[in-house]
Chain A
Amino acid sequence: GAVVSQHPSRVICKSGTSVKIECRSLDFQATTMFWYRQFPKQSLMLMATSNEGSKATYEQGVEKDKFLINHASLTLSTLTVTSAHPEDSSFYICSANLIGTEVSKQYFGPGTRLTVT
């Protein structure tokens, strides 16, 4: 099946620094990737939709200047958390949309746990 990887899996950073998270579709091309954030005991929350070659579409309440998304190729999207603060500590998950003739599925990456100290 389709595989999506994320790097790093875990990262600890100091408040005020920036962190980049990579999302790669390993064996398929993804014109669209999604970035989610999950806080403890809550459902996944969509942050933004990343489209290859164009600007990302952010959900209401998500600061586009703080969460920079770049979808430079059909297999790579990056999320950069700029000037991170402790409240940004969360589990960040990406997914890639596989559009087929019969089924549309999202394949999820393993997630990145960000801790801001």
Chain B
Amino acid sequence: GQNIDQPTEMTATEGAIVQINCTYQTSGFNGLFWYQQHAGEAPTFLSYNVLDGLEEKGRFSSFLSRSKGYSYLLLKELQMKDSASYLCAVMDSNYQLIWGAGTKLIIKP
């Protein structure tokens, strides 16, 4: 079966750095996405990785290792507004997204 695993909840301090991990097992691979979702809102796109390595975009970076079925989202200089759920999703061979359950990130002052 297809499976995406990520931690349920993480807590970090404002101004610090946090890494959210995601492991996956899917039928085919056409890229891995990270989305941010604030409560009551639709997910918003953060990053897309299809090749191994690190993609940096401002305070957010995403890393992918296809051989390990592993990705992480790195958030730097955390701000209170970063408190949200972070969803990892893999696009399978049929170009459909397989979603993880999301990681709730709590930022403390």
Contact = CB atoms under 8 A, between A and B. Distances in A.
Interface stretch (B17-25, B60-68, B93-101): B93-101
B95 A43 contact: no
Interface in B63-109: 87, 91, 95-97, 99-102
B7 interface: no
Interface string A72-103: 00000000000000000001010101010001
A44 B98 CA distance: 9
Contact of A106 (B50, B87, B97, B100): B97
A8 interface: no
Interface size class of B (residues with CB under 8 A): 20 to 34
Nearest to B39: A40
Interface of A: 32, 34, 42-46, 49, 91, 93, 95, 97, 99, 103-111, 113
Interface of B: 30-31, 33, 35, 40-45, 48, 50, 87, 91, 95-97, 99-102
